[in-house]
Amino acid sequence: MTDAASTESRPFEADVAKLLHLMVHSVYSDKDVFLRELISNAADACERLRYEAIATPALLGDDPKPRITLAIDPEQRRLTVEDNGIGMSRDEMVEALGTIARSGTKAFLDRLQAAEGEAGANLIGQFGVGFYSAFMVADRVDVVSRRAGSDQAWLWSSDGKGSYTMAAAAPEDAPARGTRVVLHLMADAKNYTERPELERIVKAQSGHVPVPIAIIDKPGEAPAEVADGAALWTKPKSEITPAEYTDFYRSVAGQFDEPALTVHYRAEGRQEYTALLFVPGTRPFDLFDAERKGRIKLYVRRVFITDDVEIVPRFLRFVRGLVDSADLPLNVSREMIQESPILESIRKGVTTRVLGDLEKFADKEPEAYNKVWDAFGAVLKEGLYENFERREGLLGLSRFRTTAAPEGWCSLKDYVAGLKENQTAIYYLAGDDIARLQASPHLEGFRARGVEVLLLSDPVDSFWVTMAPSFDGKPFRSVTQGEADLALIPRSDSGSDQKPADDVPTADFVSFVKTTLGDAVSDVRVSERLTESAVCLVAPTSGPDRQLEKMLAGAGRLRAGAKPVLEINPHHALVASLIGLKDDDSIKADAAHLLLDQARVLDGEPPGDPRAFADRLARVIGRALPA
């Protein structure tokens, strides 16, 4: 019972109201997700109590053993999920159940609205909003909670239609400690009051949470245990089936996909710990959220400590799972954990093991590994920029689109094995779109010689190549920077590397263009890299390449970049005609500026002066038209 006079009604935060509407009115192929989410919340509450009880044992009272109980009442069409965990105060209930305090909520809601079936169910757990999935099966949800160590209990209640009520709960109607979630089920969800159905869901989705789970068939009956709460990670690998690993992964990761890779081992020696880690099979859509952190839980001798500590570097933040240390003190504060030399040793060990297992995975199952790279490669490459110690290993793990395999993935080992005669560098082209990169004029001379070029389209690519000087003794070299140095590599097509027979007019034209353009370019020269296009822009040998320069300028970190070099292809019909013009410097001057603007457009930039470009173009076209 509650005191009606003290009952307070509040509207949901706008995003919560929208979320509830979507959940109530959407149809998911697997509504069972709600039970996994409620059990996961209950298990977390029990684990947090175990942690707080290290410093304050009195919180456990005379009920030290954690438990989760599912009580069914078919007559009342009611399902109750109860735990004896840490519980919540009034303010904590308002914060947890009335708001979504996580960045990216709008993106989540947009995705949820568009998703269907299991894909939609997948999204529920990814943003920590699993509690609200209860409204897929219940037309009213009551939550009664008492914070451990408190005499006061509170009742939160809502029908999921825009508001909720908060009131003080009568002591006799509340658990002695913990939280009780009562679901008043919809008519088409009555199957969740059937013991076999609940037992099936618990064993399939939550059988390996570290808290025992019991079911009460009818009011007044004794609970019957259906999951013993044994920690899966403490069992020998030989006793764990792939299905059990998958179930545990889904429980700890809050996702419904299959893990691509499972890393389970026990470390002994200077530090003793057990790690059970998973590489997900699919990419969460908030992987690049600036506030996103890793989600690996830290235990000490099976006592949950925190999930807010960096156990792996940020470039492995997609890894899920847990680490259970036997050496960290149970009473260590969360602030001191970060600076602990023991944890630092664990970090190094876990990171080395994950990268090592990824390397073995890539060797044994290359197709499966390519899917992992497709999902998480852009994040792994952050390590090439941030972590010098791991750079060599990460380069070995890296896969790339190339001019020879634009739809597949190529390793650097395979790239180096295919180097052409006299090729001494690993060539790359960086940009923001694979299709545009493939069409770049900078690739023409390399294609003519059969030289493979890495196509780098992730933002981090322009940075890590400046930090990774070489692989297998071969330096990385941008095809948009400096001289192409292709003369020593024989062409594989029927074209010629020879300059025109009469080189004097070409030199005169190049000199004229350079004089005409003035400070707009740092140099004008005959190109080794062009075979089909008339012109292109390249960066000077020193400084950033073209793509990095654009990114730095766009971020306001580069006030004035170096003037580009204009390369001209004298074999191109247009350039050859301009070279052959006699005594008409005015049209040559217009053409020089138009060639520069053409190169800018090919490089993804607008003309330097749109009005002047239009005027010059009009003059040139006008002269070409018959009088």
> Which residues make up each annotated binding site for ATP?
37, 41, 83, 88, 103-104, 126-131, 179, 334
Other residues' Cβ atoms within 10 Å of the Cβ of residue 200: 13
Binding-site annotation, residues = 37, 41, 83, 88, 103-104, 126-131, 179, 334
Q: Is 238 helix (H, G, I), strand (E, B) or coil?
A: helix
Phi, then psi, of 520 in degrees rounded to 5: -70, -25
- Cα–Cα distance, 546 to 528 (Å, whole number): 18
Closest CA to 466 of 453, 452, 481: 481
Which residue type occupies 225? E
Which residue type occupies 148? A
Q: Is the dihedral of CA 248, 252, 257, 259 positive or negative?
A: negative
Q: Tell me the C-alpha to C-alpha distance, in Å, between residue 207 and each of 241, 258, 516.
A: 13, 16, 76
Q: Is the dihedral of CA 2, 134, 125, 242 positive or negative?
A: positive
CA angle 21, 27, 30 (to 5 degrees): 120
CA angle 547, 373, 348 (to 5 degrees): 95
Q: Is the dihedral of CA 207, 209, 214, 219 positive or negative?
A: negative
C-beta of residue 539 within 8 angstroms of C-beta of residue 483? no
C-beta of residue 276 within 8 angstroms of C-beta of residue 264? yes
DSSP-assigned letters across all residues of 152-212: -EEEEEE-SSSEEEEEEEPGGGS-SSEEEEEEEE-GGGGGGG-HHHHHHHHHHHSTTSSS-
Looking at the chain, the number of H-run helices and the number of E-run strands are 21, 23
| Crossing angle of helices 573-580 and 503-517, rounded to 10° | 90
Cα 66 to its chain centre, rounded Å, is: 34
User: Could you tell me whether strands 565-568 and 535-538 are parallel, antiparallel, or unpaired per DSSP bridges?
Assistant: antiparallel
Closest CA to 483 of 439, 445, 454: 445
Ranges of H-type helices in 307-407: 334-337, 341-364, 366-380, 382-386, 391-397
Other residues' Cβ atoms within 10 Å of the Cβ of residue 532: 14
- Cα–Cα distance, 167 to 175 (Å, whole number): 15
